[in-house]
Structure 1
Amino acid sequence: MAHHGERVSEALEKMQKEIDGARKGVAESIRLVVGSGLIRDEVLLVLRDLQFRADIKSFESESGNAGAVLVRLK
């Protein structure tokens, strides 16, 4: 998600589109590559909110790769 000088708002919009698209299909989870830094921090904040609102089941950093996040879908 966080590539080529992308702004935080652009990355978050892209993330939401990916999650929405995956939820419409049969996927049970999605892997987001978020890198490190500000975009990753903002993605985690948004995912916490989505989990609180029950829009997703859960999320966690990928084992051994903090730059990727695994999201369990509803």
Structure 2
Amino acid sequence: MVSPFRLKKKGGPRIMVLPTTFNLAIPTTVFVGGPPTISMMGLAFRAGFAALGKLAKSGVFKRFRQNTFTIP
């Protein structure tokens, strides 16, 4: 038995085809990013290491280190 005659559709396949462009509507009142945040832990570490650096350069710490780590 012969199958019935069917008309061929014009164009290529319409399934599994991704769009090449899309419309992304962003309103004008959207703020991307926001204000910078401050890390309190980072500020504390920076202040602590600055204090340790000043202590290491002081004469009191140098004398303490020399008295502690010298072999009698």
Q: Give TM-score scaled by structure 2 length.
A: 0.29
Structure whose CA Rg is larger: 2
Q: Give TM-score scaled by structure 1 length.
A: 0.28
Instruction: Give the structure with the larger strand fraction.
Output: 1
